[in-house]
Amino acid sequence: MKDNAIEKEWLRYRTACFPDGKVSPVQDRETRQAFFAGALVACGLMTDVAKLPDEDAEKALVRLMKDAVGGCKEIVTDNMRKFN
């Protein structure tokens, strides 16, 4: 695995959220904390999925992906409005 892959994804996410780089220190800290809290939850869920039999694990992964995408729809829609 890449060195500090989650940190790398955080930087990509931060750039996507604040493309002009204008972000207050408080907003940067709070956004980082929220991102890493989500990453920690995702890691815990993946650990749970890894313990399942293959067929159940595949179904659980599909469900988790649907849940994650569903939770991001509002973010994606808002960002599309910003850039269109």
How far apart are alpha carbons 50 and 59 in whole angstroms?
A: 12
Q: How many residues does the chain have?
A: 84
Q: Nearest to residue 31, comparing CAs of 45, 42, 44, 16?
A: 16
Task: Indicate the domain borders of the chain.
Answer: 5-83
Q: Residue 68 half-sphere exposure, CB side, CA atoms within 13 Å? A: 12
3-class state of residue 83 by DSSP: helix
Q: pLDDT digits over 2-42, tens only?
A: 579 999 999 998 998 888 889 999 999 999 999 999 999 99
Confidence (pTM): 0.72
CB 75: neighbour CB atoms within 10 A?
11
